[in-house]
Structure 1
Amino acid sequence: MTRRQHDPLLIADLELPEEWAREWATSSGYGAYLDVLRANGQMSTPTPTPTPSPTPTPAPTTTPTPTPTPPPTTNGATTVVAVGDIACDPGSSSWNNNNGTATACRHKYTAELAKRLAPAYVLALGDLQYEDGALAKFQQSYDPTWGQLKTLTKPVPGNHEYQTSGASGYYDYFGALAGDRSKGYYVFDLGNNWIAIAINSNCSKVGGCGAGSPQYQFVQNVLQANRGKNVLVFLHHPYWTTGNYYGQYKSSLGDLYRLFDQYGVDLSLAGHDHNYQRYAIQNADSVCNTGSVRHFVVGTGGKNVYDADAHAADEPCDEVRIDNAYGVLKLVLYSDHYEWAFVREDGTVLDQASSSVR
């Protein structure tokens, strides 16, 4: 079992100028991605030709009723970027007008990376604006950086958002993107037979997370209605972590994770611990290679980084821990499998592989 990784596995082709064609194969060989961008948007203007005599205008036809636009996909796949614990407080000594320092407040650079990865969706894993999620701070720190991806973003609130009463700054900033402000949990279609469920892990703020709570009933109803779909859940607080918060959310989130076992949820993404962790598939009782859920902690959005090793001996199913890098998790979702890559802010891929859905 790999316990810790510090050396890059490969360099992803992420630094090419956007005006050139770029093509890269996926890690497991499932297809290739090709982006071709016209240089500078300029084309030479041809010599005009004489205008022909007008012909009679045909009678107008009825415009067909538009159908809903499906989620954007590439080669039968949906690309998702996920990360939490992002934008520094403008009052931080390391903020530096969103330029950060060499070791902290790196949110500008993780945002630039996320844009280069060209995702269909950004899953924002909470603690998006420090220290208290006030709207003015969102506007000053998060918005000029990660706000450039706002229309693609599906957020969940973290504990820092609730340091402003009712997480009002968070809900005012994201509006309808954050769901019902009295709940903060919702579901949406990712395409390719995948759905995503946003979980509000600030359980005391929404009537609990345990069996019988409104959020639990919502999640159960969604899972019942989507049997046969691949399911990704994302939230702020980690059920599994080898870092500083080991074991703190097993009680509050346990009923939900047992529900995930029951319905075969595929992926769980969380933040809160400021590092990257990847786990083997396990059940809610932490029995490895049993159940269905593969869990990631991605708290590397820019604020700072924490030690990931404090409780390494206590989580039997952890496979990779990285606590010296800022970056994002890139997921490529197919109908029958998924690929992942943890990409450092400079474009270096530090962890990647693929797995079949369960």
Structure 2
Amino acid sequence: MTLTAVAITVAVLTHAPNASAATVTFTPVADTYVDNSSTGTNFGTSGQLGVDNSEVKRTFLKFTVSGLTSPVTAATLRIHVDDVSGAQSSNGGTYRAMTNTSWSETAVTWNVQPAIDGVTLGSLGAVSRNTWYQINVDALITGNGTYSIGVTSSSSDGADFDSRETGGTAPQLIVTTGAAPSPSASPTSSPAPGDPVLVGAGDIADSGSNDTRTAALLDGIAGTVFTVGDNVYPNGTASDFASFYEPTWGRHKARTRPAPGNHDYNTSGATGYYSYFGASAGPSGRGYYSYDLGNWHVVSLNSEVSTSAGSAQEQWLRADLAASSKPCTFAYWHKPRFTSGSNHAPNTAIGPLVQALYDFNADVVVAGHNHQYERFAPMNPSGGLDTARGIRHFVAGMGGAGAYSFGTIQPNSEARNTGTAGVLKFTLHANGYNWQFVPVAGQTYSDSGSGSCH
């Protein structure tokens, strides 16, 4: 790589309110179930919603959708399993539209129940306790209005779901409206046709709704998706990936090049992570690998295994960088070398990897771990300002998990935000790059700029 001066321009973008999709989450205005063994009993205030065929239990959900100003482009029902018989139920029910939207949850009993008479929306197979599942309900939700969904099962191996009375695990109707997001390019440099895009974040999928909203951003951004660890909460199990990551960021799995985080390693050996991503995560159990995008060499590293000088990873990184013929280098991993976050301090253990990247004139590093966004000026491995050949560091832990606060602001921190979920988009030019923080619909924080390769 040749060594040249770095030219940096920073601009803040304002997004046109109608340019991107909006995602809104609704909870039921009514939900209940009926049981043929208690024909006169009303279960409207129960914390559970039963689905079974022996005893026969049927569930009813009602949502009022309001405030939409653009056409509906997608609708998803999310439900949370409270209890099953044994480790798993073989059947989570069949979900159908209903024409009756006037029923009251405190009046419905087995003897007095609305008909489940509409089109079939979808079905669930085996379900597990304390797990989220989702059903595509595009065929039902067409705009503002009130909608009813009935759930039945042909299996005697039933399941109980959480009702609206439970609060945080109540059913959710997630509605997306408007055109797909199309973030505008930074005004400092326009992408040339064919310039690759690298877009992503870390600290992503849990039982909340922000991961759904950041996944909706990816729907409208072409390119390679990166993750900077803690892909799924709480423990990186196969079940966590199936319940939380797969329904959201999972639809972009085929174009995703991930990095692992400490929550992924809460499962021994991060076996859930490596099994889910397969070859896209590099050699199983190692967690570091590289690939090329246009004029860029991209390195995904693993902050959860040894990063010391002389470690297998550090030696691999130096050999990998020495072998690259690309003029620009981009690296990412989970635990940040530099951060102003209050929950996790700057990670000095990752220093030998930063030193190796600096020695080979790398340009950009992205990490996560603290659930917020932060951008630093180009720095040397000790954190000193270095506009000649320093690496620009980003913290992009705003992929969906709950936000963290800032503590002591570190030297050379140029931009910060917490509480805005989003993704970080890089357009990789032949000899430079643009970055852009893209917020989820309804939030306004933006940060963008450009830099040159060394």
What does 1:11-50 align with in structure 2 at a 5 Å threshold? 11=15, 13-15=19-21, 26-28=185-187, 30-31=189-190
- State how far apart, in whole Å, the 2-side matches of 1:25 and 1:123 are: 20
Partner of 1:195: 297
Equivalent AA in structure 2 for residue 301 of structure 1:
G
Partner of 1:353: 449
Q: Which runs of 5+ in 1 are unaligned?
A: 1-7, 33-73, 89-94
Contact 2:197–2:427 (Cα < 8 Å) also in 1: yes
Partner of residue 376 from structure 2, selected from 269, 273, 279: 279
Question: Is the partner of 1:81 in helix, strand or coil?
Answer: strand
- Residue 80 (structure 1) aligned with residue 198 (structure 2): yes
Question: Is the partner of 1:331 in helix, strand or coil?
Answer: strand
Partner of residue 321 from structure 1, selected from 387, 403, 416: 416
1:337 is displaced (CA, Å) by 1.2
Partner of residue 436 from structure 2, selected from 307, 329, 341: 341
Partner of 2:281: 178
What does 1:200-239 align with in structure 2 at a 5 Å threshold? 200-203=302-305, 208-239=306-337
Structure with the largest fraction of strand:
2
- State how far apart, in whole Å, the 2-side matches of 1:299 and 1:22 are: 20
- State how far apart, in whole Å, the 1-side matches of 2:452 and 2:430 are: 9
Q: Deviations over 1:78-114 (max 9, x none)?
A: 11112000111xxxxxx3xxxx3xxxx4100100011
Q: Which runs of 5+ in 2 are unaligned?
A: 1-11, 22-69, 74-177
1:211 is displaced (CA, Å) by 1.7
Contact 1:266–1:293 (Cα < 8 Å) also in 2: yes
Contact 2:181–2:219 (Cα < 8 Å) also in 1: no
Q: May I ask how many residue pairs the two structures share in their alignment?
A: 286
- State how far apart, in whole Å, the 2-side matches of 1:227 and 1:285 are: 27
- State how far apart, in whole Å, the 2-side matches of 1:286 and 1:238 are: 12
Q: Could you say which structure has the larger radius of gyration?
A: 2
Pick closer, same or farther for the CA change 1:257–1:29 going to 2, 3 Å.
closer
1:77 is displaced (CA, Å) by 1.0
Contact 1:246–1:311 (Cα < 8 Å) also in 2: no
Pick closer, same or farther for the CA change 1:113–1:317 going to 2, 3 Å.
same
Contact 2:432–2:452 (Cα < 8 Å) also in 1: yes
Equivalent AA in structure 1 for residue 284 of structure 2:
R
Q: CA RMSD in A?
A: 2.3
- State how far apart, in whole Å, the 1-side matches of 2:240 and 2:180 are: 37
Contact 2:183–2:438 (Cα < 8 Å) also in 1: no
Partner of 1:109: 213
Q: Deviations over 1:288-316 (max 9, x none)?
A: 134321010000011110012x020xx21
Q: Which has the higher mean CA deviation after the structures are superposed, 238-247 or 260-269?
A: 238-247
1:335 is displaced (CA, Å) by 1.1
Question: Is the partner of 2:449 in helix, strand or coil?
Answer: strand
Contact 2:433–2:450 (Cα < 8 Å) also in 1: yes
Q: Which has the higher mean CA deviation after the structures are superposed, 321-330 or 227-236?
A: 227-236
What does 1:132-171 align with in structure 2 at a 5 Å threshold? 132-171=235-274
1:76 is displaced (CA, Å) by 3.5
- State how far apart, in whole Å, the 1-side matches of 2:13 and 2:188 are: 16
Pick closer, same or farther for the CA change 1:20–1:210 going to 2, 3 Å.
closer
Contact 1:82–1:330 (Cα < 8 Å) also in 2: yes
Contact 1:326–1:344 (Cα < 8 Å) also in 2: yes
Contact 2:188–2:450 (Cα < 8 Å) also in 1: no
Equivalent AA in structure 2 for residue 311 of structure 1:
T
- State how far apart, in whole Å, the 2-side matches of 1:223 and 1:27 are: 29
Structure with the largest fraction of helix:
1
Contact 2:373–2:417 (Cα < 8 Å) also in 1: yes
What is the aligned-residue identity percentage?
Answer: 37
Partner of 1:129: 232
Equivalent AA in structure 2 for residue 116 of structure 1:
G
Equivalent AA in structure 2 for residue 196 of structure 1:
V
1:141 is displaced (CA, Å) by 1.1
What does 1:294-333 align with in structure 2 at a 5 Å threshold? 294-308=392-406, 310-312=407-409, 315-333=410-428
- State how far apart, in whole Å, the 2-side matches of 1:108 and 1:25 are: 22
Pick closer, same or farther for the CA change 1:164–1:331 going to 2, 3 Å.
same
Q: Deviations over 1:29-65 (max 9, x none)?
A: 5446xxxxxxxxxxxxxxxxxxxxxxxxxxxxxxxxx
1:22 is displaced (CA, Å) by 9.8
Which consecutive segments of 4 or more residues in structure 1 shift more than 6 A?
Answer: 16-24
Equivalent AA in structure 2 for residue 111 of structure 1:
A
- State how far apart, in whole Å, the 1-side matches of 2:188 and 2:13 are: 16
TM-score (norm 1): 0.75
TM-score (norm 2): 0.59
Equivalent AA in structure 2 for residue 78 of structure 1:
P
- State how far apart, in whole Å, the 1-side matches of 2:424 and 2:181 are: 21
